[in-house]
Amino acid sequence: MLTGIIPASWSGPLHAALRIMTGLLFLEHGMTKILHWPATDYFPAGQPLPALMLVAGILELVGGALITVGLFTRITAFILAGQMAAAYFMAHMPQSLFPVQNQGDAAILFSFVFLYFAAAGAGPFSVDEARN
């Protein structure tokens, strides 16, 4: 059995790295919807967002920022896990049963990573940790 490949002492910093990168990636989704930066073909500037996309963009923008800095992580992550589960079942699953065909891989991964943070908390290098 392969043990000790990555020392257990790295678990805290890797937890923080996962939280920060997940938050930044999620923040980027919100930025492209709300701020139109970085620009994408999916959300062109000048076109109003449907109400559901506007709410999703706000959750992604604010939630991504909160996850990145590790503030109110558990409740934020719980809400975002639900958002991503809903996004998968509403937007991706109707296209195909298979995530590789319906482009729902990211939604599934985000949902489960956020569930992890809802249970485990922000970890080290976070505002939540500094407040305790």
Q: Quick one: which of 56, 3, 71, 2 has its CA closest to 26?
A: 56
Per-residue pLDDT of the chain (132 residues; tens, 9 = 90+): 567 788 989 999 999 999 999 999 999 999 999 999 998 888 888 889 999 999 999 999 999 999 999 999 999 999 999 999 999 999 999 999 999 999 999 999 999 999 999 999 999 999 999 998
Nearest residue to 40 via CA among 53, 55, 59, 22: 53
Q: Determine the pLDDT at residue 132.
A: 84
pTM, rounded to two decimals: 0.94
* 3-state class (DSSP) for residue 102: helix
- Kindly list the domain boundaries of the chain, sorted by start residue: 15-127
